[in-house]
Amino acid sequence: MRMTRGSVTSEPLDGVLPVDKPVGPTSHDIVGMTRRALGTRRVGHTGTLDPFASGLLLLCIGNATRIAEFLTGLPKRYRAQLRLGQRTETDDLTGRIIAESNDWHDVSQERFADVLNAFRGHILQVPASFSAKKVSGERAYRAAREGRAVTLEPVSVHIAELRLGAWAPPFAELEVACSTGTYVRALARDIGEALGVGAHLTALRRTAVGPHDVEAALPVALLTDADRVRATLIPPLAALGPMPRVTLDDEQVRHVRHGRSLESAHAPGTVALVTHEELVAIGEADGEHIRPRKVFSA
């Protein structure tokens, strides 16, 4: 990337920029703001946040857009608030209330905490009707907005941690660590159903994606600060987090950069091929060879 009118830097930027999204704009809005601030079209995010949600967005800049697919599957952490006694059509505060109950007065903190036990570990979750899940090739939210019935199949998700934080009925705060693809608003809905009083999500903040924490993220207001952008940018290799690494010698680097496979007994799976802490390629190991999948220039 070279400086264009309105950009903050004249040097190429390649890496992953953690940004702290505020409540209000969409994830696509943040991408647009970043493109304008940095003077490049090569910006992509690795997982959306709803407009009412805030927190960590990982933006891939420049050549790092090629690693976006390997970041989308990282586990997520959230701080969420739900409201007992009300169901909404969207399972969050943006939707119309479709059911109410005053029985939330009878829900004790102990009972609420006990119900959470059923939602830890591997569970089947029906995504929210107003979601980007596809039904017969159509986004579910499009059908839902038009008042058409939406039937979504349950999907397997993993809730690694689920803890009760602040308790101020009818509101409850949750700390959630979960697999990608988990709908926290669907989790709030299902907790309400398990309690027999209904519930919906009233606030959501993503606090971490894999090893990346929102505390290290760049506030949106500082996107035009070139020094802060560079200081916050994560090199592609570091951004990949827990992906296994294979260190190459100079001859192997040459082979990989020409797209040739390497003999290797590395366990099957996706691996980062590196030299001198530089990402050379991302490859697929099968136990006998590693086939370069995405090769990065020197």
Q: State the pLDDT confidence band at 2, using cuts at 50, 70 and 90.
A: very low
pLDDT for the residue numbered 107 = 98
CATH code, 256:
2.30.130.10
pLDDT for the residue numbered 4 = 41
Residue 3 lies in a domain: no
Are residue 70 and residue 80 in the same domain, yes or no?
no
Are residue 105 and residue 205 in the same domain, yes or no?
yes
Are residue 286 and residue 172 in the same domain, yes or no?
no
Q: Are strands 15-21 and 218-219 parallel, antiparallel or unpaired?
A: parallel
pLDDT for the residue numbered 134 = 53
* pLDDT higher than 60, residue 138: no
Residue 2 lies in a domain: no
Residue 6 lies in a domain: no
**Residues known to be catalytic:** 50
| pLDDT tens, position by position, 62-93 | 999 999 999 999 999 999 999 999 999 999 99
pLDDT for the residue numbered 143 = 46
CB 39 within 8 A of CB 13: no
Q: State the pLDDT confidence band at 137, using cuts at 50, 70 and 90.
A: low
Q: What are the DSSP calls for 106-156, one per residue?
A: G--HHHHHHHGGGGSEEEEEPPPSSSS-EETTEEHHHHHHTT-------EE
Mean pLDDT to the nearest integer, 224-244? 94
Q: Which has the minimum average pLDDT: 38-47, 126-135, 221-230? A: 126-135
Are residue 129 and residue 193 in the same domain, yes or no?
yes
Are residue 93 and residue 114 in the same domain, yes or no?
yes
By CB neighbour count within 10 A (0-12 exposed, 13-18 middle, 19+ buried), where does 289 fall? middle
Are residue 165 and residue 281 in the same domain, yes or no?
no
Residue 28 lies in a domain: yes
Residue 4 lies in a domain: no
CA gap 102, 266 in Å, rounded: 58
- How far is CA 226 from its chain centroid? 25
CATH code, 26:
3.30.2350.10
Residue 8 lies in a domain: no
Total structural domains within the chain: 3
* pLDDT higher than 50, residue 3: no
Between the alpha carbon of residue 35 and those of residues 32, 39, 100, 239, 281, the distances in Å are 5, 6, 43, 20, 26
At residue 176, what is the residue type? V
Q: By C-alpha distance, which of 254, 251, 250, 240 is closest to 282?
A: 240
At residue 10, what is the residue type? S
pLDDT for the residue numbered 242 = 87
CA gap 239, 249 in Å, rounded: 22
Q: pTM here?
A: 0.88
Residue 150 lies in a domain: yes
Domain range for 270 is 245-295
Are residue 131 and residue 184 in the same domain, yes or no?
yes
CA gap 102, 82 in Å, rounded: 15
Residue 5 lies in a domain: no
Between the alpha carbon of residue 197 and those of residues 81, 85, 108, 110, the distances in Å are 16, 5, 12, 16
